[in-house]
Amino acid sequence: MKSEGLRQIVRRMALLLSAALFAACASAPPPVQRPPMPRAPETTAPAASARPAGAGAVMTQAQARWVAADWSELPGWQDDRLFEFWNAWLKGCERPPAAWVALCPQVRRLSIADEAEQRRWMLERLQPYRVESLQGESRGLLTAYFEPTLDAQREPGPGFTVPVYAVPAGLASRKPWFSRQEIDTLPAAQAALADKVLMYLADPVDALLLQIQGSGRVRLAQADGSVRTVRLAYAGSNDQPYRSVGRWLLDQGLIKDASWPGIRAWLAQNPQRQQELLWSNPRVVFFREEALSDLDAAFGPRGAQGVALTPGRSIAVDPAAIPYGTPVWLASEGPMQPLQKLVMAQDTGSAITGAVRADYFVGWGADAGALAGRLRQTLQMWILWPK
């Protein structure tokens, strides 16, 4: 779970934002790289092999089938703290898919209601569906991702020599672009990136982690000695295939623990093979720098839906199985993080594919990183869909 401090931050922001939005209504295995932010999808009701007339009725998506279920099937449904979830729903209603446009005004009004009223409204207006693969499998995999917090400098210097790049000119017209190894070794690739350095990090493994997570918070040293925190947000990639460095190590029998702590422990013992490990993943991510206001700092980056992610309440999914902007009930048991809670499908990732598959956004900082680096456990999912 989130740390207590993070719980308090999210709760305070939820109350403040809920009030503001109500007033207005009255007058985005190892973590995976985030894709570019698309336009808000024009989601319509999925094709149906049977209309939702009752329990067992089926609605189909390209990569999933939804089976109508009773609310009593959702484990822990009555115990979730809906006020924490509602803030993520309000974010989702900033760019609602077509299926939710009519309900979002009611979602905004209910942001200041008590949980009993919110729960009654959901029971009346929404239908739960168990998410299954097209073959009928209802169990899948839950992992987690986060925003790393790193130190950086504008100019290279002692201890800060690893560049973070903006999108190079001509990227769209030459895809796939240079691989990670080619960027490090070919003069043509280095020339194309010569004027695209945003800042410099200290550790190439941190740079890889930043690219895999798709965004990060950076404490940037200023000329006057002060420190300014900014966000590095996903801006594009070289369109090379993503290869997990953990999988590379496992396939060679070099480690048994492919979590980030396990990977770093292996690197500490084998520093001479660091470059080889880095080059095993040819995919490179490019970034854009964004200001980080106090309000922005309470949320994550924008996900694929185009809205800011809410720690502990946003997930990445396969949009061919679950449309962005859809509430999802998670039920996951495991040694790291037993979860029974309502979240919003607001992001995706290169390794998030299939019906019962989710990447859980856990926030930022050391605690979030420790959780994201190890979370890998069984998952069941139910989506909530307008009746």
Q: Domain holding 317: CATH number?
A: 2.40.40.10
What does pTM read for this prediction? 0.82
Do 52 and 75 have their domain in common? yes
| pLDDT score of 7 | 44
Do 172 and 280 have their domain in common? yes
Do 282 and 305 have their domain in common? no
pLDDT band at 267 (very low <50, low <70, confident <90, very high): very high
Does some domain include residue 37?
A: no
Q: Looking at the predicted structure, is the pLDDT value of residue 41 above 70?
A: no
Q: Looking at the predicted structure, is the pLDDT value of residue 19 above 90?
A: no
Do 125 and 181 have their domain in common? no
Query: Residue with structure tokens 């609310």?
Result: 71
CA distances (Å), 4 to each of 159, 364, 367, 384, in order?
Answer: 34, 14, 11, 28
Backbone angles phi, psi at 13, to 5 degrees: -65, -35
d(CA 248, CA 232): 27
Give the sign of the dihedral formed by CA 319, CA 322, CA 328, CA 332.
negative
Do 159 and 233 have their domain in common? yes
Q: Looking at the predicted structure, is the pLDDT value of residue 284 above 70?
A: yes
- As a whole number of Å, the end-to-end CA separation of the chain is 32
- Out of 230, 256, 291, a domain closes at 291
d(CA 250, CA 244): 10
CA distances (Å), 61 to each of 98, 264, 307, in order?
Answer: 16, 39, 23
Do 250 and 279 have their domain in common? yes
| pLDDT score of 55 | 65
Residue 325 near residue 294, CB atoms below 8 Å: no
Average pLDDT, the chain: 87
- pLDDT > 90: what percent of the chain? 76
| pLDDT score of 43 | 41
- The boundaries of the domain holding residue 204 are 147-291
The 10s digit of each residue's pLDDT in 236-249 is 999 999 999 999 99
Q: To the nearest 10°, report the CA torsion of 50, 55, 56, 58.
A: 40
DSSP assignment of 84-152 equals HHHHHHHHHTTS--GGGTTTHHHHHHGGGS-HHHHHHHHHHHEEEEEEE-TT----EEEEEEEE-EEEE
Does some domain include residue 38?
A: no
Do 160 and 137 have their domain in common? no
pLDDT band at 49 (very low <50, low <70, confident <90, very high): very low
How many independent structural domains does the chain possess?
2
